């Protein structure tokens, strides 16, 4: 887990929530060839895309499509998800959740499809709040205006996030959580 130190005006924005342009400016982009299915063009063109987020060295790759643009889009999403899990941006749990989170809460439920473009940023908000509250899911859920079950289900939508949450909980003597 990486904890960032940022100026106060940047605290609200996790790298997973940055615009594509801002995030790509912080990345090294490599174009790669990969073997496997995809026809005769696959090995002739460097259509695979590998993104390395410079400040943390986190890597995401996509090469399953024949289009470099499509692979770049997929790699960027994978990078956002990995950033959401690996980087913690300090937050004040006494403050209300960010507007992005608030607009996704309806009657204590988190309403977002895991495939939605905002999912990585929302996941980062949830994990940042959990970290700020000592990985206590009940306290974090209360702070985020949702139920504990909803919060755990939301985090479990991305298995690597649930694994990280449980790693952190075990490290401080709390029992691991399972998908509710």
pLDDT digits (tens, 9 = 90+) for 41-88: 555 567 889 999 988 899 999 988 888 899 999 999 999 999 999 999
11-38 confidence digits (pLDDT tens): 448 999 999 999 999 999 998 876 655 5
CATH number, domain at 7?
Answer: 3.30.160.20
pLDDT at 5 over 50: no
Whether residue 15 is found in the same domain as residue 74? yes
- The number of domains in the chain is 2
- Which residue range forms the structural domain that includes residue 46? 2-88
171 dihedral zone (left: phi>0; alpha: psi -120 to 50; beta): alpha
The pLDDT-based confidence of 6 (bands split at 50, 70, 90) is very low
The pLDDT-based confidence of 9 (bands split at 50, 70, 90) is very low
Q: Is 35 inside any structural domain? A: yes
pLDDT at 166 over 60: yes
Give the whole-angstrom CA distance, residue 10 versus residue 59: 23
pTM exceeds cut of 0.85: yes
Q: Is 48 inside any structural domain? A: yes
Give the whole-angstrom CA distance, residue 123 versus residue 164: 12
Give the whole-angstrom CA distance, residue 180 versus residue 176: 12
Q: What is the secondary structure of 64-98 as a DSSP string?
A: SSS-HHHHHHHHHHHHHHHHHHHEE----TTSPPP
Q: Is 30 inside any structural domain? A: yes
The pLDDT assigned to 10 comes to: 41
Closest to 151 measured CA to CA, from 169, 171, 125? 125
Residue 78 structure tokens: 């994978």
Chain-centroid distance, C-alpha 158 = 9
Whether residue 65 is found in the same domain as residue 142? no
């Amino acid at each position: 887990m990486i904890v960032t130190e940022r100026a106060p005006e940047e605290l609200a924005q996790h790298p997973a929530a940055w615009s594509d342009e801002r995030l790509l400016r912080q990345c090294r982009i490599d174009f790669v060839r990969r073997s496997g299915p995809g026809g005769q063009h696959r090995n002739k063109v460097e259509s695979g895309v590998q993104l390395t987020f410079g400040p943390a060295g986190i890597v995401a790759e996509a090469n399953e499509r024949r289009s470099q643009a499509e692979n770049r889009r997929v790699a960027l999403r994978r990078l956002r998800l990995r950033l959401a899990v690996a980087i913690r941006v300090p937050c004040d749990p006494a403050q209300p959740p960010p507007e992005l989170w608030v607009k996704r809460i309806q009657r204590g439920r988190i309403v977002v499809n895991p495939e939605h473009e905002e999912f990585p940023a929302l996941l980062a908000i949830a994990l940042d709040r959990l970290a700020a509250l000592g990985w206590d899911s009940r306290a974090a859920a209360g702070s985020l205006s949702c139920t504990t079950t909803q919060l755990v289900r939301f985090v479990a939508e991305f298995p690597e996030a649930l694994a990280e949450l449980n790693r952190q909980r075990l490290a401080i003597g709390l029992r691991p959580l399972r998908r509710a």
